[in-house]
């Protein structure tokens, strides 16, 4: 592999965020470098037609499959809201309380239809953290239930619904963020959970999602002390092996944002970017700063060149991201973007779930 091909291969493992409601010069430069994923935040969104125009411009610039992603869970964490022209769903806790797999499937399909109408390919949902800590500041009613079986069963139905509408689902946050009392956007949480505890509570939902064919799984920036007392799950080979060996997941493993304070204030980028890939992450989220995004590419490339990241690990990650890119659709048509939004069927389903219930979004960057 020559230098240019290696650079593009490594860049293709990143998903980046940017600022503005039109493609910024910075994100266009990253796409030209080879980046194959872009994440949208509220800062990028005005209304449905603008979202479709933005997504279309990004995909046309790429000139090859580009995966556009978003956090659209429902409740507090939903970037696209009624003000943008989209159906607002209540927190997923309402689905958990109902316990109805058909309702969960239909909710996922609704979200998938609306995202697909504006060209979005990947939704970072469902949350399959088990809500075992009532003082958790970041998960709470984003979780379906305090019962692992119910989280797995309904989370699998949600994922199947999303994917039935042509949008890839991503289960999060592996191996479990539900029992923390701290927010990994702000600090690095630590948990004392043994493997026995994880196998009883946190891992069963991820196993259920793997069996359901979920396209991706996102890591948690949480230290599980008995498994790895130093590194958070995102950087820990010992923890990430559980995803493959215990849960049986074969799809793409995506890091949570490497610019979150749980990583950026605890671990240098020199350790975090190559370390996540070496540990078993396939696609790295770097959501805010162009200089950090370019530096992450440079650092991973150097780690490949020095042998810190073996060629087999790079090839494995590249292959998994390539499979994920099969979900990438063509540029959408802004003129038809609203046709699938806030339909009577969608509004009736939201009402059946219990109507909107938002509050402060703990995740917005």
Catalytic annotation present for 294: no
| Interacting residues of 223 by C-beta distance below 8 A, sequence separation 6+ | 188, 189, 190, 191, 229, 230, 231, 232, 233
Q: Which of 183, 256, 257, 282 is catalytic?
A: 256
From residue 172, give the alpha-carbon distance in Å to each of 94, 256, 327, 347. Answer: 18, 9, 18, 26
CA-to-CA distance for 207 and 215, rounded, in angstroms?
13
SS3 call for 322: helix
- Residue 221 designated active-site: no
Determine which one of 84, 173, 177, 185 is catalytic: 185
**Helix 269-279 with 311-324: angle, nearest 10 deg:** 80
- The C-alpha atoms of residue 274 and residue 285 are separated, in whole angstroms, by 13
- The per-residue DSSP string of 12-75 comes to TTEEE---SSS--HHHHHHHHHT--EEEE-GGG-SSHHHHHHHHHHHHHHH-S--EEEE-EEET
8 phi/psi in degrees, rounded to 5: -70, -35
**Rounded distance between C-alpha atoms, residue 133 and residue 175, angstroms:** 15
Q: Measured in Å, how far apart are the chain's first and last C-alpha atoms? A: 36
Active site amino acids: 185, 256
């Amino acid at each position: 592999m020559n230098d240019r091909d290696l650079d593009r291969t490594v860049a293709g493992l990143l998903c980046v965020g940017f600022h503005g409601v039109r493609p910024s010069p910075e994100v266009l430069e990253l796409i030209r470098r080879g980046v194959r994923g872009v994440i949208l935040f509220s800062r990028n969104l005005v209304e449905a037609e603008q979202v479709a125009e933005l997504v279309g411009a990004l995909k046309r610039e790429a000139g090859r499959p580009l995966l556009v992603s978003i956090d659209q869970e429902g409740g507090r964490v939903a970037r696209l809201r009624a003000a943008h022209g989209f159906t607002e769903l209540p927190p997923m806790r309402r689905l958990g309380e109902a316990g109805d797999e058909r309702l969960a499937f239909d909710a996922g399909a609704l979200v998938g239809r609306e995202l697909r109408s504006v060209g979005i390919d990947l939704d970072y949902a469902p949350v399959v953290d088990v809500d075992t800590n009532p003082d958790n500041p970041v998960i709470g009613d984003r979780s379906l239930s305090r019962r692992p079986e119910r989280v797995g069963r309904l989370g699998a139905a949600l994922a199947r619904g999303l994917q039935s509408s042509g949008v890839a689902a991503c289960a999060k946050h592996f191996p479990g963020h539900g029992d923390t009392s701290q927010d990994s956007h702000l600090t690095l949480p630590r948990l004392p959970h043994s493997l026995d505890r994880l196998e009883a509570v946190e891992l069963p939902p991820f196993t259920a999602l793997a069996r359901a064919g979920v396209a991706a799984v996102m890591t948690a920036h949480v230290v599980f002390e008995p498994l790895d007392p130093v590194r958070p799950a995102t950087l820990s080979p010992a923890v990430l092996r559980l995803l493959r060996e215990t849960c049986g997941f074969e799809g793409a493993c995506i890091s949570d944002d490497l610019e979150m304070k749980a990583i950026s204030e605890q671990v240098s980028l020199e350790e975090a970017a190559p370390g996540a890939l070496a540990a078993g992450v396939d696609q790295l989220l770097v959501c805010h700063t162009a200089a950090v995004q370019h530096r992450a590419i440079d650092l991973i490339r150097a780690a490949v060149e020095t042998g810190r990241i073996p060629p087999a690990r790079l090839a494995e990650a590249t292959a998994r991201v390539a499979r994920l890119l099969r979900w990438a659709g063509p540029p959408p048509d802004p003129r038809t973007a609203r046709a699938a939004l806030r339909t009577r069927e969608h509004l009736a389903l939201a009402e059946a779930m219990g109507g909107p219930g938002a509050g402060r979004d703990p995740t917005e960057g």
